Structure 1
């Protein structure tokens, strides 16, 4: 059964184009900063940052792929690149022999500490400096709602895998 797509209002179309423009411009600037400061791709930075936020500095690869919305094979490749640089270490999961755990190394923590100040500055100056605190609150609420809606029917790379119970 094919549904006729709803038309977008001029306001919706304007919001969509503004969102995609802001996203593209911000991503380009952030990627440049990450390359210049730490020789990292955006996905590599996301992996290191998520590991840095984990209490024990490690996470399962499938959980990382779900969180960063990246294919599992692409994530494996990025993890290999980071491992070759000594920024992460991969090992079998102690809980599930089919899973791999990625752990942040001290060298990875050092790279994060190097790139974070410039990253925060870029995001603040390019995105948040033009907004009031109320605007930022509204933006966080609105984008949070949109993210929750999109996560309700995510692409396979963002679908959380069910863990088999014995």
Structure 2
């Protein structure tokens, strides 16, 4: 039987999960209200807009931590709106490359000020500079630990575990 979490670990875990839930709720609401985007759609557009090259669907799936099928669905919605383009990779015909359009960049630019405002108000206004540095260090260490495992794209395709999804 695995060792249980101590009281400090439980407190930290539940506080983290509550903060993430509360912040995600407000961020999702802002993105939908101001840009008609779900969080994962915003993430896809932001990653593509920040990249100096088109990304493959696998790179996107690993980057946004989203299922392949869910990402394909979201990419289809974004493509229908003219925010991204998808095409076969010139280097690997099995891969699909995705690129943000000028309209997609404009959509990111239009929601970004509100997004930053929500994050600043709800997260960073409650912290001083030392807290922000400590939080950044802690979350980077936790992220790097989690990312040291093989990427989700390396997992066999199949339904061994239920998929976790974002609202559409």
TM-score by length of 2: 0.89
1:109 positional shift: 0.9
1:95 match: 91
Which of 51, 62, 77 is the aligned partner of 1:66? 62
* SS of match in other structure, 2:123: helix
Distance 1:160 1:61 in 2: 15
* Aligned partners of 1:88 and 1:104 also within 8 Å: yes
Q: Give the superposed CA RMSD.
A: 1.6
Aligned to 2:32: 35
Match of 1:48 in 2: 45
User: Any stretches of 5+ residues in structure 1 without a counterpart?
Assistant: 162-166
Q: Output the CA distance in 2 between the equivalents of 1:40 and 1:119.
A: 12
Indicate conservation of the 8 Å contact 1:66/1:160, yes or no: no
TM-score between both structures, scaled by the size of structure 1: 0.90
Q: Which runs of 5+ in 2 are unaligned?
A: 157-168
Count of matched residue positions in the alignment of Structure 1 and Structure 2: 156
Q: For residue 152 of structure 1, report the CA deviation from its aligned partner.
A: 2.2
